[in-house]
Chain A
Amino acid sequence: MFSGFKKLKDSLAKTRDSILGKISQIVTGRKLDDDLIDEIEESLLKADIGVAATDRIIERLRQLAKEAKATDSDTVFGILKDEIKKILESNRKSLMGNGIRPHIWLITGVNGTGKTTTVGKLAHYFKNNGKSVMIAACDTFRAAAVEQLAIWAERSGVVLVTAQSGADPASVAFDAASSAVSKGIDYLLIDTAGRLHTKANLMEELKKIRRVTEKVVPSNQIFSKLIIDGTTGQNALSQVKVFTDAVGCDGLIVTKLDGTARGGIVVAIAQELSVPVDFIGIGESIDDLEAFNADSFVEALFES
């Protein structure tokens, strides 16, 4: 169990109370029959776990009911946890770094998922772990995005590379990467503008940022990280697919997990696309960022 478990548990508490936590109430003291399975299915779907993952879990429960094996609430509960854990663990391994400086993290995502905030938190996180950090402000499109990032950089005390509003984001990335190499920086975080994955020209711009950065450092030092809004539904799958096609995806960071009914989409993504989650964002202050851990995540989801 990692240190932030309590905090994660607290923030996911709302999810548990409203949705998955209900499963323990539903299950307790009842026989595993069709009615109960329907109710469990409802709870899973309501948590954004997705139709495919839900079908998989429900299928397992139906089989169990048929075999009429031990179907007390503890067993049912154990199986639910087990299945979700299995889905999460089937992910390919997360790539956070390989020890060669600088590690360049390309932070991408659709509009309003919390990229800039996450970059701020990541800078703080790495700095606290004794790494040197630099941020590149490549969102030259949205009004005041650079100013917003400057405030975060100041809070965590890291170097910020900027350009004028409207400048080519790829040129900012190039400058920042060159500077990170010459200064021997450990982590360079590139904040990009939000873009809907359906806008082909904006996705081309993103590819260009990666291409240009690869002129400074080898491709295996660049890690594409996609930010997913935790309130997003099944559309997140489409986001992951398209961003992966464009610039690859070495890991996800799921934000805004401090509200209600959150996090289920993580399971849906793991089931269908097998992309790992690196971090989760659980609040607005600078240290509200947790490394993702499947065990703790599932435990926290079901803890009563």
Chain B
Amino acid sequence: MFGELIDKFDEIFKNLRGAGKLTEKNIKDALKEVRRALLEADVNYKVVRDFIKHAETEAVGERVLKSIEPGQQIVKIVHDELVRLLGEKMVPLAPIDKAPTVYVLCGLQGSGKTTLCGKLALQAKRKNKKPLLVAADIYRPAAIKQLMILGDSIGVEVFHLDNAKPPEICSQAKKYAEKNFIDLMICDTAGRLHIDDELMVELEEIKARVAPDELILVADAMTGQDAVNLAEKFHQRLGLTGVALSKLDGDARGGAAISIRAVTGCPIKLASIGEKLSDLEPFHPDRMASRILGMGDIVSLVEKAQQSVDLKEAAKLEEKLRRQAFTLEDFYEQMQQIKKMGPLESILGMIPGMGKALKGVQIDENGMKRVEAMIQSMTLEERRNPHIIDGSRKKRIALGSGNSVQNLNLLLKQFSAMQKMIKNVNKFKLKGLPKGAFPFQM
């Protein structure tokens, strides 16, 4: 997510940090690079201009030039400015507290509305609410069928009506929802261009007839400079309550997010990050800004870890690390904990600095499986004291796990390097490490 933009900033700030003394000139040069990075990330031109102007006045001030770490100071200014543009705080969706609460989704063709409808319905269902999907796209071939298959796969009812206009379908659906104790009704509307007057009128009518609690624009995260135009037009005519960004799992640099928020003032409430119906996250502007700047998204990582890591286990591990009694057995357990957190790629991306280090690297989940198999083929004694593993034991382990002796040697070598590293870390005390987020070599 936002990967390439992060890389660019990494590069720029590495140079700035390197500079012993900041002058007006190297600030200007750096900001020029920031400008280019933002433009290449599809941030709207106007937004970029304001951004740079603002950052420049802040940065060229006496305060920065005379501060002890001017480079850091500039990073902070740019960071704060990004947070401001992305909208300071996370804004949640309207609570599902009426029967029915109504969400209406709209957007251009192919922005991912139907998929997002499915995700929202599934999320509601997991909170023990009763959702209803409303098929209000009567134009695209097989759109209704798509929603019905989607609804079927997550066990959510789909409301559709033949030979009726979308506003009529939605208002009938609301009546149906009221009668049938539906908690959340989600209307999937047809994709439309913001300059298509007829279809925009249709949306206005839908809004008037169902009085939605959320009217959300679904925008493709890869959209170019036009993102602003379309968001503005939709907002002017409909008074959006929020924006959802879709396809954030690609390598889009996220300029659309910054621009839409900055120009319309509409909060970005959701981030849709995959094709699986469970891939939906709230949008955290502050964390996103940190991530853009390559500071990593440690908060998300820790939250994720807390969801899946057994805290007692983690404490035990930390104790072991402190005593330098970290064995292959612990390593194996640690791997299991990490696996619970989700795909490695997305986890590592949240660690500061890792985004860059991992660029272009295909994380080999199979490598992890191989390591697991090898450890599983060891006796308990061997796991605790890897140094007893001699030639004949190696042969047995390799055979038992379907690996070569070379692979096993590599694992043992890496493990011993890791133990050394832990010793070094211990010298500096372990306090700084987030719990459960133990860095290991793959």
A contacts, CB < 8 Å to B: 14, 18, 42, 45-48, 50-51, 110-114, 141-145, 147-148, 150-152, 196-200, 229, 231-236, 238, 256, 258-262, 264-265, 284
Q: Which residues of B contact A142 (CB under 8 A)?
A: 146
Q: A196 — which chain B residues lie within 8 A by C-beta?
A: 247, 249-250
> Given the complex of chains A and B, what is the CA–CA distance between A147 and B149 in angstroms?
11
Known contacts A229-B110, A262-B226; A234/B42 CB under 8 A: yes
B313 within 8 A of A: no
Decide yes or no: A260 and B224 within 8 Å by CB, A196-B250, A234-B40, A234-B41 being known contacts.
no
Q: Could you tell me the distance between the alpha carbons of A261 and B195 in the complex, rounded to whole angstroms?
A: 11
**Of the candidates A14, A50, A110, A114, which one forms a contact with B109 in the assembled complex, judged by CB atoms under 8 Å apart?**
A114
Proximity bits, B26-49, A CB within 8 Å = 1, else 0: 000000000010011110110000
Residues in B with CB closer than 8 Å to A145 are 142, 146
What CA separation (Å) do A111 and B251 show in the bound complex? Answer: 13
Q: 1/0 per position for B132-149, CB-CB distance to A under 8 A?
A: 000000011111011111
Q: Is the CB of A235 within 8 A of B251?
A: yes
Q: Do A261 and B225 have beta carbons less than 8 Å apart?
A: yes
CA distance A143 to B108 in the complex (A): 19
How far, in whole Å, are A50 and B222 apart by their CA atoms in the complex? 14
Q: Give chain A residues whose Cβ lies under 8 Å from the Cβ of B109.
A: 112, 114, 256, 284
Interface members, chain B 134-193 (any A CB < 8 Å) = 139-143, 145-150, 153, 193
User: Do residues B224 and A144 form an inter-chain contact, with CB atoms below 8 A?
Assistant: no
17 contacts between A and B (CB under 8 A): A45-B225, A112-B220, A114-B110, A144-B145, A147-B146, A148-B141, A148-B143, A198-B249, A200-B362, A229-B222, A231-B223, A233-B223, A233-B225, A233-B255, A238-B4, A259-B108, A259-B195
A236 CB → nearest B CB, Å:
8
Chain A residue with the shortest CB-CB distance to B41? A234
Docked Cα-Cα span, A20 to B229, in Å, equals 15
**Contact assessment for B224 and A48 in the assembled complex, using a CB-CB cutoff below 8 Å:** yes
Task: Report if A110-B142 is in contact (Cβ < 8 Å); known contacts: A256-B108, A259-B226.
Answer: no
Cross-interface CB contact of B224 among A110, A113, A152, A232, cutoff 8 Å: A232
Residue pair A112, B142 in contact (C-beta under 8 Å): no
Query: Which residue numbers of B lie inside 8 Å of A, CB to CB?
Result: 4, 36, 39-42, 44-45, 108-112, 139-143, 145-150, 153, 193-195, 220, 222-227, 229-230, 247, 249-253, 255-256, 275, 362
Known contacts A112-B112, A147-B145, A234-B224: A198-B251 contact under CB 8 Å: yes
- Complex contacts, B224 vs chain A, CB 8 Å: 48, 231-234, 261, 264-265
Contact B39 A51 (CB under 8 A): yes
Q: Nearest residue in A to B223 (C-beta to C-beta)? A: A231
Which residues does chain A contribute within 8 Å of B194, judged by CB atoms? 259-260
Q: Within the complex, what minimum Cβ distance (angstroms) separates A23 from chain B?
A: 14
Quick one: which of A47, A152, A200, A232 has the most chain B CB within 10 A?
A232
Whether the Cβ atoms of A231 and B146 lie closer than 8 Å is no
**Assembled-state Cα–Cα distance A190/B251 (Å):** 26
Return chain A residues, CB-CB under 8 Å to B44. Answer: 46
- Which residue of the partner chain, among A46, A152, A256, contacts B141 with CB atoms under 8 Å? A152
What is the CA–CA distance of A144 and B256 in the complex, to the nearest angstrom?
29
Q: B275 to A111, Cβ gap below 8 A?
A: yes
User: Complex Cα distance A36/B394, Å?
Assistant: 74
Contact check, A235 vs B141: say whether CB atoms are below 8 A apart.
no
B253 — which chain A residues lie within 8 A by C-beta?
234-235
A182 CA / B153 CA spacing, docked (Å): 38
Instruction: Give every chain B residue within 8 A of A148 (Cβ-Cβ).
Output: 140-143, 145-146
Does B230 lie within 8 Å of A259, measured CB to CB? yes
- A198 vs chain B, min Cβ distance (A): 5
Shortest Cβ gap from A45 to chain B (Å): 5
Q: What residues of B have a CB within 8 angstroms of the CB of A112 in the complex? A: 109-112, 220, 247
User: How many Å from the CB of A254 to the closest CB on chain B?
Assistant: 12
| Residue among A232, A234, A284 having the largest count of chain B Cβ atoms under 10 Å | A234
Q: Tell me whether B145 and A261 are in contact (CB under 8 A).
A: no
Q: Could you tell me if B146 and A260 are in contact, using CB atoms closer than 8 angstroms? A: no
Given A144-B142, A144-B149, A258-B193, are A233 and B249 also a contact pair (CB < 8 Å)? Answer: no
B150 & A143 in contact (Cβ 8 Å cutoff): yes
B57 → chain A closest CB, angstroms: 19
A10, B154: Cα distance in complex, Å: 44
Q: Are A261 and B247 in contact (CB under 8 A)?
A: no
Closest to A50 in B: B40
A contact residues around B225 at 8 Å (CB): 45-48, 233, 261, 264
